[in-house]
Each structure stands twice: as C-alpha cells, then as structure tokens.
Amino acid sequence: MRIFCLTAFVFFLGLSPRLTAQDSTALTWVDISKITLAQTLEKNIDYGYIDADASLPNQYHSILFKRGGNIHRRFVEDKNVTRKIILRFKARNTSDSAVSVWFYPGYYYWDIHLYRETGNNLQAIRSVTPDYKNEISYRYMTLPAEDSAVFVAELIPVRTYLNTIRPKLVNPAYLGSFINDTYSTNNEAKTFTYLFCGLLLMMILFSLASFLQGGNLEFLYYSGYAAFLGLMLLIKAVYSYHSSKMSFFQEGYLDYVMLCIGHLFYMLFIQRYLATKRNHPFLHSLYNIGILLLVFSITTYSCAHFFTNNYAIEKNVENITKLLLLIMVIIFCIYSIKRWKNKLLRYLFWGNFFLFVFSLMSQLLILWEVIPKSAPAIFRSSVVYYETGLLLELVFFLAGLNYKNRRQLIASARERERLKAENQMNEYEKEIAVYKAQQQERERISADMHDELGSGMTAIRLMSEIARNKMKENTPVEIEKISHSADEVLNKMNAIIWSMNSGNDTVDNLVSYIRAYALEYFEYTPIVCKIYTPDEIEPRELAGEKRRNLFLCVKETLNNSLKHSRASELRIRFIIDDALTIEIRDNGIGLAPGKIRQFGNGLKNIAKRMESIGGTYQIETDGGTVTTLSLPL
C-alpha cells in the first residue's frame, strides 16, 4: 500500500518511477504474432541511460529505468544525447510457429544492439539490418513458437536536439510500406524544396556568370550563400526520414555548419552589395563582428562535436549563434527603417524581414505543434516555412539587384558621357593650342617677312627707280625688268603677309582686300573695274587658308580677264548669306573654244583650290565671261 501511494505521488508530480533492471514485471506483454502492420511501444517500455564507453551487459543491473508511459514525442535530454539509451520491453509469440518482426526505435540512432534476458544475464542477438540502402535503424528479432522473453535494446543516438524515443515493432511483410509511408509523409514539402533548390541553382548560375563577366565579388559571395543553403536544404530533402549515415551526419553536424558558412557568405555579400565600408560604416563593423562570430562558432562547434562528449557545448553554441544572428537581423531592420529613403536598403529590409518572420514560424513548428494535424502536411513542415522566407528574401534581392544595376547603368552612362566630353574638351584644347601656336607662328613669319624681306624689296625697287631716273633715255632694259620684278614680288609678298596674319581672318577683311587689290590692279589698264558689296557685312570668321585660296582664285580670274577678255569693263559682286559668293563678270569676247587652252592650267588651278577648301567654281559665257566662286560659311 505504501509503495502504491508513493508511486501515485510520483506520477502526480509528473515524474516517472525509477525501476531496477529486475523490475520489469509491470510491463505488458506484446504479442508479436498479432502484429499485422506495426505496433508502437511508447507506452509499454522502460528506458534508461549508461555512459557511452560503458558495457551494457556489465552495467545492466545498475540501470535505473523509467517507465515509458510519458515518453511519447519525448526529446532526449541534452545530457543524455552522448550516452547510450537502454530500452526494455516484453514480447511473446502465441502462435504455433516462429515469428519475426523488425524493431525500430525511431530516427537518429547510429547503432542498435538487441539483447534477450536469460536469467540474470543478457544474450546478444545477431544484428541484421534490412536490404534497404539508406535504412540502418532497424533490427531483426525472432521468437520461437509459444515463447516469450524480455528484450533489451542498446541505442547510440545521433547528437541532435531532434532525437526522440519512439520505438515500434514492424511486421516484415509491411516493412517496405512502413518505410515508404514514413518517407512519403512530407512529399509535398520535398517537392517544394526541390523547386526552391532549382530556383537557387538558377540564381547561382546567374551570379557566377555575372561574376565571370564583370569580376564583381558580390555575385561570387551571393552564389556561395545560395549554394550552401541550397545544398543544405537539398540534402535534408533527399535524406530526411531515412535512417542513413548521411542523414545522421547531416542532421548532427553538417546542417548547422553549412548554415553558418552560408550566412558568412551572405554577410560578405551585404558588405560588397551596399559598399558598407564607404556608405554604411556601422553596418560594416556589425558584419565584421558577425563574420568573426560565425568563424568562432564553426570552430568551437566542430571541436566540441569531434573531440568532446559534451553535447551541451554544441547546443549552446548553436542556440547562442542563432540568437545573435537574429539580433543582427533586427539591428539591420532598425537601421534600414531609420534610412528608409535609401531604396536599396528598403529592398534588403523586406527580404530580411520576411526571412526573419518565416524562420521564426519554422522554429515554432520544430518546438511545438502549432499547426493541427488535420492540416495538409505541407503546412505542417517547418522546412517549407523557412524556404518560403528564403524565397521572399531572394525575390527582394533580385528586385534590389535590378534597381542597383539600373543605377549603375545610368551612372556608367553618365560617367562615359563625362569622360567623352572631357576627352573632347581636351582635344579641343589641344586643337586650340595648336591653332594658337600656328597663328603665332604665322604672325611671326609675316612680321619677319614684312620687316626683313619687305624692306629689302622696297629698297631694290627704290634703287632701280633712282637708277632709271639718272640714266633717263639711256636706261637699260634690265633696270626696267628689275623694277617691275621687285614690284611684283612686293605685291605677292604683301598678299602672303595678309593671308598669314590671323587678324585678317574675317569675311569683311577679305572683301576689303579684294576690292583694294582689284581697283589698284586695273588702275592703269583699259578695263574699268566696278565693285558691288553689301551695305553691311556681318563679322564672320574665315580661316587664313580659305582667305588665301579665295584671293588667289580671284587674282587668277582678274589676270585672265586682263590678258584674254578684251573687255572694257569688269564687275565684281559680293553676295553674303549662308555662303560667300564672288561673281566676276566682264563684257569681253567670252570663252572661245579655241582659246580655252591658252589659260587651261589656270582654270584647273582655280577648280582645285576651291575644291580643297570645300567651295565650288563655275565659269560660263553670258555677254562676256562670268566666273562664280562660292564658299559655304
């Protein structure tokens, strides 16, 4: 009676009674001959723990078992994750032939050993696993006809907080369906994961192509982030609900490490994407701390996992790291809200916000069943919520990337235009400098010619005139020729000096010079020269080369008229609008076909000169000879 009261009191406090190895009489017998599909042992089992390096047969009698009525969905305590879990149950066979079943303790057990109680000892049962490649958490057990026994299972759990004690006995004929049913529980969620991983793969390829094309490290960092998270989710989808070594390694170690490495790449990406060192020093420092935190976390987690048996270190490192990452997300969101006008930050804010919300929902589903079991399996999958957050984060990232690329294209176009304008300005400055140098050189040469050659030629002309005056009637012909040649050379030199002087580079100066030259040229000739100019000439620039060639063309035309036209009158008309047109008309004999050859080279030279400066030349007979020179202004 006292034992009953004590037992009731313990259960009232919510604690399971502690039993020794021999106190198995209260367990209910499980008839394995009656199992057609599968039968759970969660409420008909005792469980206890021994150290990882302890031997079960030696430690069996000292184990303090707990009754398994309260282990439904029970997670293995952190302090026991690195220990061996010992289960005890009673089974019998009431049929007249031997019956076999598969013992399945649940997911995440590296190894399982079955024993049968024989008196005060344990007899090991040969370890037999199914012929399924990825299933190692099943063990075959057999009972002869009308036999019964107490079975003891020694379990070595995977180091994960998801480890539970959920033992079952499965009929061999039903094993394939049992595995398939278990594996297909979340088929919808896995399909969603595969689709999401496909999107991530597209994003990875796009990022790598962008990196190879432009060498921008932010694309390489983002592809690393997407690759590690995508691979983590893909491995989880392929191996989840399978009891395989890869599944155990992924759940016990690889899952967290890949998550950390992925977020490390993400922080590097954010630093490059936002140019935090230049634009956001606070975020740059924050993410530098985050990167160091992740490196320290991965190192500490790996050392604790491979070199110690203290699972609490692993779990605390994982939980603290996730909490700090969560705080960093909150800090980033607050920072973004304070700078809401920054459109690029807004895109990243919404991506981080949705990832945070759906990650929180995913964690709640892991810890508590907040979604009723009547809901579709896809809505009860924690991974689906996490992937939804990642998908939304990806969508906003792409939107932000598109916005940033548009800004970069605009900035790049503006920079190209600026450089182009700057190059053009430099070219203009060079041309102006060359032009100025040429003008200065022209002015220097013209000044030298005027001062040196001009004075010399004037002296020759004066001396020839003095000599002729002294000799009077006895003047030699050579003196006359010297005086005439000096006159011609002086006129030509004055024309050259005029054309080289940059101060004369205007249309009105050209008109004035041609007018003065023509009147002087025909002063002592039988031809009367009349010149018609506009009442007002706007000041327009005309380069020295064009002035010179126009003047030489006019000079050649006047010379032809004087020598060959037999005219008594010559008219020069200047027309100035979009072009400078010089019309020279005489009242002579015109262009006789037989006479053209007499001055054919001169006409060819006029045509070449006008063509070289972009002008036109035309000569015709109309009551005399009409020569038209036209140069666009």
pLDDT in tens, 159-209: 888 788 889 999 999 998 888 876 666 677 788 888 888 988 988 898 888
The residue extents of the domains of the chain are: 17-170, 185-421, 505-633
pLDDT of residue 23: 60
pLDDT of residue 293: 95
The answer on pLDDT for 38 being more than 90 is yes
- pLDDT digits 0-9 by tens, 294-345: 999 999 999 999 998 888 899 899 999 988 998 998 999 999 999 998 888 8
Q: Tell me, which fold does domain 17-170 have in CATH?
A: Immunoglobulin-like (2.60.40)
Mean pLDDT of 605-611: 88
Lowest mean pLDDT among 74-78, 272-276, 577-581, 598-602: 598-602
pLDDT of residue 461: 65
pLDDT of residue 11: 34
Higher pLDDT, 368 or 289: 289
The answer on pLDDT for 150 being more than 90 is yes
How would residue 215 be classed by pLDDT, with cut points 50, 70 and 90? confident
Mean pLDDT of 249-277: 92
Tell me the average pLDDT of the chain: 83
Higher pLDDT, 418 or 71: 418
Torsion of CA 609, 611, 615, 618, to 10 degrees: 80
Identify the helix (H) or strand (E) that includes residue 423.
helix 382-448
Superfamily of domain 505-633: Histidine kinase-like ATPase, C-terminal domain (3.30.565.10)
pTM tops 0.75: no
Whether 360 contacts 206, CB under 8 Å:
no
- CATH architecture, range 185-421: Up-down Bundle (1.20)
pLDDT of residue 261: 95
The CA-based angle 148-150-153, given to 5 degrees, is 135
pLDDT of residue 457: 63
pLDDT of residue 92: 94
> d(Cα 210, Cα 198) in Å, to the nearest integer?
18
The answer on pLDDT for 25 being more than 80 is no
Mean pLDDT of 411-428: 87
Lowest mean pLDDT among 88-97, 293-302, 620-629: 620-629
How would residue 286 be classed by pLDDT, with cut points 50, 70 and 90? very high
> d(Cα 386, Cα 384) in Å, to the nearest integer?
5
pLDDT of residue 592: 65
The answer on pLDDT for 12 being more than 50 is no
pLDDT of residue 74: 61
The answer on pLDDT for 594 being more than 60 is no
- pLDDT digits 0-9 by tens, 388-413: 888 888 888 878 877 887 887 788 88
Higher pLDDT, 523 or 456: 523
Do strands 147-157 and 109-118 pair parallel, antiparallel, or not at all (unpaired)?
Answer: antiparallel
- pLDDT digits 0-9 by tens, 367-393: 776 777 777 777 777 788 888 888 888
> d(Cα 582, Cα 605) in Å, to the nearest integer?
17
Mean pLDDT of 226-246: 87
Higher pLDDT, 91 or 463: 91
pLDDT of residue 303: 94
Highest mean pLDDT, choosing among 88-102, 525-539, 584-598: 88-102
How would residue 10 be classed by pLDDT, with cut points 50, 70 and 90? very low
pLDDT of residue 94: 94
The answer on pLDDT for 604 being more than 70 is yes
How far out from the chain centre does Cα 163 lie? Answer: 42
pLDDT of residue 257: 95
List C-alpha distances in Å: 433 to 72, 425, 427, 440, 500: 93, 12, 10, 10, 17
Q: Which two tokens stand for residue 20?
A: 């020794």
Higher pLDDT, 496 or 19: 496
Residues 6+ apart with CB under 8 A from 486: 457, 460, 461, 464
Taking residue 404's Cβ as centre, other Cβ atoms within 10 Å add up to 16
- pLDDT digits 0-9 by tens, 544-573: 788 888 888 998 899 888 888 888 899 999
pLDDT of residue 72: 47
